Chains A and B, each alone.
Chain A
Amino acid sequence: MRAITALLIREITLARRIGAGAGLGLMFFLILITLVPFAIGADQRLIGTLAPAILWLGALLATLLGLDRLLQADEDEGALDAMLMSETPLILLLLVKAVAHWLVTGLPLSLAAPLLGVMLALDPAVMLPLALSLLIGTPALTFIGLIGAALSVSLKRGGLLLSILTLPSAIPTLIFGVGVVKAAEAGREIATPLMLLAGTSLLALAIAPLAAAAAIRLARE
């Protein structure tokens, strides 16, 4: 238990001090949103229609941003070897790392999304469903990314490969996430898509640490 708390504190401190986590992800998100009107024109109605899609795509890309350093940094400085030899199971440690990553990227993104939604002329009625969908859906993106990070940890140019491996698996999360907002827009109940989204996150939570730990172990044989 002490190892887990220590790792969680270390991860968050590192993210805060190096600035690779919360600040940068959020900045990327903001810049992406700023680029949108330039790409599609200043038509408020059109931007409002596209807003949920833009915010979800932005969250997806911002989550990817920090993932290539998630395990790579530990591999470079040898911390990953220490984790492998630790008494605490690797699966648990990876889970903690993923949770820490979500706390500094997914969580701030979800909280900032309604604010950015205002800039994108998002219907005020769907602000809450959007934030809720991001809050429940972004953990799935982090966990799926964890598998990609573990597979590409020992590669020199892992960053690009990581997105290619990760993005196809993120499709269900994207579909259900945008589905929540679409349901709210159409005035339907959002419980069903939210539960499906929660299911994707939970499944990713169950599989990802296992697969990632196996990938790291097998790469060292």
Chain B
Amino acid sequence: MERLLALANPARFNALVDRLFWPLVGATVLAFGYGLYGAFFTAPPDYQQGETIRIMYIHVPAAWLAMFVYAGMCASAFGTLVFRHPMADVAQKAAAPLGAGFTLLCLVTGSFWGRPMWGTWWEWDARLTSVLILFLIYLGIIALWRAVDEPGRAGRAVSILTLVGGVNLPIIKFSVDWWYTLHQPASVFRMGGPTIHPAMLTPLFVMGLAFLLLYLVLLITRMRTELMERRAERLTILAASRQGG
């Protein structure tokens, strides 16, 4: 906890991040190299889905991250409201577009995968619909960030929205599942084949790790940019008030 509080000072945060940045970039590149090589060359094609199974190595980690980022935003929202941690506020703002990006990636790759496998770009399947709603909630959060000018006030408003969304997401997921079982589907889709073989599972986990590292690198970069932007804005206001006074 004390460590976390020490990071409330932007200078300390920057110092830590400066040390972590390049090792993280290196680890990301390595993980992507290994993961992509595994996904495209060493992993066997699925006996039912053939080569299209390789979409999974992008699609599934993107779905993991889509949910992980939201969980992280909920934690940051809690940090903003309860501990008033200034970095939590910055982290939230930096994370929202990244989460929306991963969710969109998940939806788009899912669509590409669905075309050859299900014969349709889009299906009102319970899981697809839930992810789409998650994407809409991300967009709402980004819209609220943009609507409020003052960053502190925006942060507190968004925190409430994020937490309300966090309470709502399981309910939405549950209700969408319920809705889906109400409507009999035209055909039953099931992931072909038995449980995943280690030859596929290893690259999948490596890709998951690569996505996580990529998220951290992007998050740190965005947080640093946000800090600099806020500082630049303060300096502009200060300069303007000096000129006026």
Contact = CB atoms under 8 A, between A and B. Distances in A.
Q: Chain A interface secondary structure, helix, strand, loop or mixed?
A: helix
Contacts, number: 81
B176 A171 contact: yes
A200 B133 CA distance: 18
A118 interface: no
Which size bracket describes the interface of B in this complex? 20 to 34
Contacts of B179: 175, 179
A151 B160 contact: yes
Given A154-B153, A169-B164, 11 more contacts: A147-B161, A157-B147, A161-B147, A164-B139, A165-B143, A169-B168, A175-B179, A182-B182, A215-B160, A218-B153, A221-B153
Contacts of B218: none
A219 interface: yes
Interface in B14-67: none
Interface of A: 147, 151-152, 154-155, 157-158, 161, 164-165, 167-169, 171-172, 175-176, 179, 182, 196, 200, 203, 207, 211, 214-215, 218-219, 221
Q: Which of A158, A168, A200, A215 has the most chain B CB atoms closer than 10 A to its own CB?
A: A168
Given A151-B144, A215-B157, A168 B175 contact: no
Contacts of B137: 168
Nearest 10 Cβ contacts at the A-B interface: A172-B175, A218-B156, A175-B179, A175-B175, A168-B136, A165-B140, A215-B160, A164-B140, A169-B168, A155-B147
B144 to A, nearest CB: 7
A214 B143 contact: no
B168 A214 contact: no
A207 B172 contact: no
